[in-house]
Amino acid sequence: MGDGSVQVFNMASLLGLRDFNVSKAAAEANMPIRKYFGLLSEIIVQGPRVIESLNKLSCFEIDADAIGCLTEMQKTLAAAGCIRYALPIAEIALAGKDGDIAHVAPHAAKVLKGFSRIFTQLWTMMIDEASDPYGPVSMKEALDKAQEEINLKETFRQKRILAVDDMPVMLATIGLVLKKEYAVYKLSDSAQLESVLESLAPDLFLLDYEMPQRSGFDLVPVIRGYEAHKATPIIFLTSTGTNDSVLKAIKLGACDYLVKPIQADTLRQKVATHITKK
């Protein structure tokens, strides 16, 4: 690609991107779907230049072409609903024009990592134009069709549970108890939670109370920081079950707790109760 052609993207997958507010972009500008795909195609085409520009600036190289490239990309990202990176890229470009390299370099390094991720995500969401399921419709019509597809898949898929515990034996036990009814995902390093949530949307969290790097208490605000998980059920796994720990968990937003060693029937019952409520 690079000839200005417009690529076709999987709208259902786009709706799952945390960095793009596709619905907001559709509401603010009732553009044809092909025009929106044109914006995404421009991100794909110009992406390598943007990555190179951010890399230069992160290495303390002030470059007029790099700043110009970022200025144009900022406009494209904003129109596509990717405000999360449109705003910081605009700030980098402005600071670069002012020659404020001390501010630009660390900021550019941080944005480089995030932009590289969304560039890769968009690349994987391109589909063959011959199998274009949308045609000449508006953004709203395409979104409605994509949402129907998502709803249909959601109806038949297994509920997803993410268990976070630093003890492999506990994760193995949880998986063994719940594997028939649910898709169980296991994480032993709590520091990696954000990375996991980039590609996985659990329907319920099981969090260990005490872990070496970040405790279950530390993870609750992280989880609630995601719009999709403002109300996702969180159950704590604790070895104590004291009033203080239980109250703290509830205040943070947990819906229940289990005292270790966990009983299989109790775990199934609590998970079934809260995952259904969601």
Banded model confidence at residue 242, pLDDT cuts 50, 70, 90: low
pLDDT tens-digit series, residues 77-90:
999 989 889 999 99
Q: By the 8 A CB rule, do 234 and 211 touch?
A: no
DSSP string across 64-124: HHHHHHHHHHHHHHHHTT-HHHHHHHHHHHHHHHTT-HHHHHHHHHHHHHHHHHHHHHHHH
> Which of the four pLDDT bands, split at 50, 70 and 90, describes residue 1?
very low
For 191: left if phi > 0, alpha if psi spans -120 to 50, otherwise beta; the answer is alpha
Which residue is listed with tokens 């390299």? 101
Q: For the chain, what is the mean pLDDT? A: 87
How many Å separate Cα 42 from the centre of its chain? Answer: 22
Return the pLDDT at 131: 67
Phi, psi for 211 (deg, rounded to 5): -140, 155
Of residues 116 and 28, more confidence is placed in 116
pTM of the predicted structure, to 2 decimals? 0.61
pLDDT at residue 241, as a whole number: 62
- C-beta of residue 150 within 8 angstroms of C-beta of residue 144: no
3-state helix, strand, coil split of the chain in percent (to 5) is 60, 10, 30
What domains can you pick out in the chain, each with its CATH number?
A: 8-149 (no CATH), 158-277 (3.40.50.2300)
Q: Which helix (H) or strand (E) holds 184?
A: strand 183-187
Residue range 260-269: mean pLDDT, rounded: 92
Average pLDDT, integer, range 133-155: 80
pLDDT tens column, 17-74: 878 888 777 666 677 888 889 999 999 999 999 999 999 999 988 788 999 999 999 9
**3 state SS of 231:** coil
Nearest Cα neighbor of 139 from 22, 33, 13 is: 33
Give the Cα separation of 32 and 130 in Å (integer).
Answer: 18
The predicted structure's pLDDT at residue 28:
67
- Tokens of residue 249, six digits: 């968990």
